[in-house]
Amino acid sequence: MRVVFLYMGAENLGVQYLSSVLKKNGHETFMVFDPALFNDKYWLTVNSLSKFFDQKKEVIDKVVALNPDLIAFSVFTDCYKWASFIAKGVKQKLPKVPTIFGGIHPTSVPEEVIMEDFVDYVGIGEGEESLLEFASKLEKGEDVRHIPGIWAKDTSTGLIYRNPIRVLSDEIDSIPFPDKEMFNPHLPIKNGYMVAASRGCPYSCTFCSNNLYNKIYRGNGKWLRRRTTENIISELKEMKAKYNFDKVDFVDDIFTCHRDWLKEFLLVYKKEINLPFKCITHPHFMNDEIAQQLKEAGCYAVALGVQSTNESYKLKVLKRYESNDKVKEATLALKKSGLSVILQHIVGLPDEVEQDLIDAAKFYIDLKPTRIETYTLAYFPATEIVDIALEKGHINNEILKSINTGGENMYFDGGSLREAKKQKQAKSFSHLLSMVTVLPRPMSRFFVKTGMWKYFYIIPNSAVTLAEVGIIIATREHRAINYMKYYFKASASLLTKMLKKPAHITTGLNK
Ligand code: B12
Ligand code: SF4
């Protein structure tokens, strides 16, 4: 069966796993990738430019030209509008070819997604086994209405088959290595290798999708699973030989959460792979010893979630259990070992007051990490914080609808904040946090003490972006550096194509 996957803006591990499982079982897979320049939902949004570089119509044509038997969309909430536009266009041209939407967004709100005319099937939860069973049955003309992990719409009767989620398999080592070829022509793998050593997270922070996953998988297997050292090393060796990348990016939610495994893994990694790497973790799983082990194995940067420094709020509303002292201890351990520390903070939380921001700024000024990423809260569907916000009256049913259909702004574009005053405050705060990592402490303290920071929203984003680019280069943020290079190349090549083929320019602009 010819399965065409669609994705936009960035690499996607889920799709890579699905493709490799399908290929291993005799199916053919293809990727139609939309670079979605300047509206990639990951890196950059510049509306005027995104219209100029729009490729959605070309994407639809490419899908049609591939003559697919199944069209598979992997959908983040922020990409849902894009996926819907493409699916609608494809359905008009290929009405008989089934479409399936899977990934975090359809998993969060399957009821919403299955109701769309352009969606025939919805994948919920992890998809390797479900999609394989589905594609294989579809190919043989068998009944596909009762597959665990797949919701099916019978278009002739209008009936929807809401099948249960598939019980999680513990055997994640048996999943074939991700099919990096799906993305290599678009985002070259040699620039950095993205790998997950585990799946799941032990926590359920109310704003995060793990909150939902932990809920839907309760009683359906263990959500947090770890691959063995041998399995990960063998993937890295095989892929290093193939792509010759020079950096590794561990995208596990909490890379350091299994201490014994970590110790063993890092020793083998150093011996067998020996490449600089970056990872994400949680303050609870960081101390002097872990930081030192990471450093010795070649780690150069660690991202840590902080999200709020109001301890009681954090506990009650966000369900985050680490104290500020713990965050401090973790950050200092990393700094002491000479690692770059990227702290992540959320602004625009329900019931947040100005004093919360001032306290957070003071905390970060003392701590002075390498970089602080400030996200404006964007509600993700079916997470607990949505219920909290609804209950407190911060959002209403209209906003809920927007959340559930991918209508909210990205976290770097104002997120779910609607009030102009709050938006300005969030912007000022975000600019302040970008500065505290580079300015001398007395200067940052002066900005906070005098309240000058409240007017930082007038600083153009471009100036802050430029300063951040400097920090990114200084801290060897390879993913960001590669994205800059990629943008340069991709926009130049698209421009050349458009100039050669004026018809394409017309299609793009006449959207
Ligand atoms: C690694 C990662 C990234 C990486 C790689 C993306 C990727 N998916 O590989 C990068 C850095 C590029 C990234 C970017 C973004 N990310 Co991210 N990312 C993650 C992270 C930490 C792990 C994802 C992962 O690799 N999981 C392992 C794979 C195997 O699982 P999976 O991708 O979910 O795929 C499985 C199933 O979903 C399903 N499936 C997926 N697609 C399909 C399709 C079909 C047809 C079927 C049947 C099944 C199916 O089967 C797959 C295999 O089991 C998750 C958190 C998490 N724990 O999920 C956040 C997460 C997915 N990211 C999130 C967000 C918001 C983003 C960004 C929008 C924001 C940003 N600017 O960073 C961008 C989007 C960029 C873009 N244009 O795609 C949110 C999404 C929330 C939501 N409701 O949309 C998450 C859930 C984190 C969170 N805050 O809660 N991300
Ligand atoms: S610790 Fe991080 S990944 Fe885990 S639930 Fe909380 S925010 Fe999500």
Instruction: Note the ligand closest to the C-alpha atom of 35.
Output: 1
User: Are residues 180 and 145 part of one domain?
Assistant: no
State the alpha helices, DSSP H only, in 158-250. 209-216, 229-243
pLDDT reported for residue 414:
87
| Same structural domain, 217 and 148 | no
Identify the CA nearest to 281 among candidates 246, 254, 309. Answer: 254
Burial class (CB in 10 A: 0-12, 13-18, 19+), 275: middle
For all residues of the chain together, what is the average pLDDT? 93
N-to-C CA span, the chain: 32
Mutate to test the pocket of ligand 1, among 6, 12, 63, 79 (most ligand atoms within 8 A of CB): 12
* Residue 425, CA distances (Å) to 11, 181, 297, 363 in order: 33, 43, 41, 18
Tell me the mean pLDDT in the region 306-327. 97
155 and 178 both lie in a single domain = no
Residue type, 172: I
Ligand 2 centre and the CA of 92: distance in Å? 40
pLDDT at 219 exceeding the cut of 60: yes
Q: How much distance in Å is there from the Cα of 77 to the middle of ligand 1?
A: 10
For the record, the structure tokens of 497 come out as 């194509």
Of 15, 61, 55, the closest CA to residue 38 belongs to 55
> Does residue 34 form part of some domain?
yes
Q: How many CB atoms lie within 10 A of CB 125?
A: 26
Contact between 207 and 383 under an 8 Å Cβ cutoff? The reply is: yes
Are 367 and 467 part of one and the same domain?
Answer: yes
Determine the Cα–Cα distance for residues 56 and 365; give it in Å rounded to an integer: 44
φ and ψ at residue 277, rounded to 5 degrees? -145, 165
State the DSSP code for 163: P
Cβ 205 under 6 angstroms from ligand 2: yes
Tell me what pLDDT residue 487 has. 78
pLDDT at 507 (0 to 100): 31
Query: pLDDT at residue 383 above 50?
Result: yes
Give the pair of three-digit tokens for residue 300.
Answer: 């150069």
Q: Which ligand is nearest to the CA of 201?
A: 2
Residue 341 included in any domain: yes
Residue 145 belongs to a domain: yes
Which pLDDT band, with edges at 50, 70 and 90, does 133 fall under?
very high
How high is the pLDDT of residue 56?
94
Give the position of tokens 């041209």.
93
Ligand 1 nearest atom to the CA of residue 101, by list position: 45
Total number of domains in the chain = 2
Q: What is the pLDDT of residue 207?
A: 97
Candidates 29, 74, 487: which one to mutate for ligand 1, based on the most atoms within 8 Å of Cβ? 74
Residue 41 phi/psi, 5-degree rounding, is 65, 15
**Nearest CA, atom 1, ligand 2:** 203
Residue range 290-311: mean pLDDT, rounded: 98
Structural domain of 109: 2-162
Point out the domain boundary residue: 101, 129, 162: 162
Residue 491 lies in a domain: no
Q: Residues 57, 183: one domain?
A: no
Q: Which atom of ligand 2 is nearest to the CA of 203?
A: 5
Q: Confidence band (pLDDT; 50, 70, 90) for 510? A: very low
Residues paired with 101 in a beta bridge? 73, 122
Cα gap 189→123, rounded to integer Å: 27
pLDDT surpasses 50 at 502: no
On whether both 245 and 315 belong to a single domain, the answer is yes
Question: In percent, how much of the chain has pLDDT > 70?
Answer: 96
- The Cα–Cα gap between 306 and 153 comes to 42
Check if 285 has its Cβ closer than 6 Å to any atom of ligand 2: no
pLDDT of residue 504: 37
Higher pLDDT, 1 or 480: 1
* pLDDT of 506 over the 70 cut: no
Rounded-to-integer distance, Cα 278 and Cα 341, Å: 10
Residue 355 scores a pLDDT above 70: yes
Of 162, 184, 203, which closes a domain? 162
Ligand 2 centroid – CA 491 distance (Å): 34
Residue 336 within any structural domain of the chain: yes
Query: Which of 45-54, 235-244, 341-350 is predicted with the least confidence, judged by mean pLDDT?
Result: 45-54
500 occurs within a structural domain? no
Q: Residue 217 CA: which ligand is closest? A: 1
Which two tokens mark 118? 């352009």
The torsion angles phi and psi of 74, rounded to 5 degrees, stand at -105, 120
Domain of residue 316, CATH code: 3.80.30.20
* Residue 41 CA, closest ligand 1 atom number: 77
Catalogue the long-range contacts made by 437-440 (C-beta closer than 8 Å, 24 or more residues apart): 437/364, 437/368, 437/369, 437/370, 437/371, 437/372, 437/471, 438/467, 438/471
Arithmetic mean of pLDDT, 109-135: 98
5-30 confidence digits (pLDDT tens):
999 999 999 999 999 999 999 999 99
Tens-place pLDDT, residues 136-152: 999 999 999 999 999 99
Mutation to probe ligand 1, out of 4, 42, 128, 402 (largest number of atoms < 8 A from CB): 42
Spatial contact of 75 and 91, defined as CB atoms under 8 Å apart: no
CA distance linking residue 118 with residue 92, whole number of Å: 9
> Residues with Cβ < 8 Å from 293, sequence gap 6 or more?
262, 263, 266
Q: Is pLDDT above 70 for 275? A: yes
388 and 266 part of one domain: yes
Indicate which residue's Cα is closest to atom 7 of ligand 1.
Answer: 12
423: enclosing H helix or E strand: helix 420-436
**pLDDT given for residue 509 in this prediction:** 31
Residues 185 and 58 occupy one common structural domain:
no
Mean pLDDT within 481-509 = 65
- Of 46-55, 365-374, 449-458, 492-501, where does mean pLDDT reach its minimum? 492-501
Q: Number of helices and strands (H, E) in the chain?
A: 21, 15
pLDDT confidence of residue 412: 82
Return d(Cα 302, Cα 371) in angstroms, integer: 11
Residue 473 CA to its chain's centroid (Å) = 22
How sure is the predictor about 476, in pLDDT bands with cuts at 50, 70 and 90?
Answer: low
Residue 20: both structure tokens together = 């490799």
Shortest-distance Cα residue to atom 3 of ligand 2: 253
Does 16 map to a domain?
yes
Tell me the per-residue pLDDT of 47-91, one tens digit each, with 9 for 90 and over.
888 888 889 999 999 999 999 999 999 999 999 999 999 999 999
* Residue 368 falls inside a structural domain: yes
pLDDT at residue 42 greater than cutoff 90: no
Give the Cα separation of 445 and 454 in Å (integer): 13
- Please name which ligand lies nearest the alpha carbon of 483: 1
Task: For residue 208, give the ligand 2 atom closest to its CA.
Answer: 8
Q: Do 143 and 248 have their domain in common?
A: no
293-302 pLDDT, tens digit each? 999 999 999 9
Are 81 and 177 within one domain? Answer: no
The tens digit of pLDDT for each residue in 387-408 reads: 999 999 999 999 999 999 999 9
Whether 261 and 120 share a structural domain: no
Please tell me whether residues 125 and 182 are part of one structural domain: no
Q: Which of the ligands is closest to the CA of residue 284?
A: 2
Would you say residue 39 has pLDDT above 90?
no
Q: What is the arrangement of strands in the sheet containing 150-153, beginning at the earlier edge strand?
A: 28-34, 2-8, 70-74, 99-102, 121-123, 150-153, 160-162
HEC string of 245-278 equals CCCEEECCCCCCCCHHHHHHHHHHHHHHCCCCEE
* Stated pTM of the model: 0.94
Where is average pLDDT lowest: 78-92, 303-317, 481-495? Answer: 481-495
Task: Give the CATH number, domain containing residue 43.
Answer: 3.40.50.280
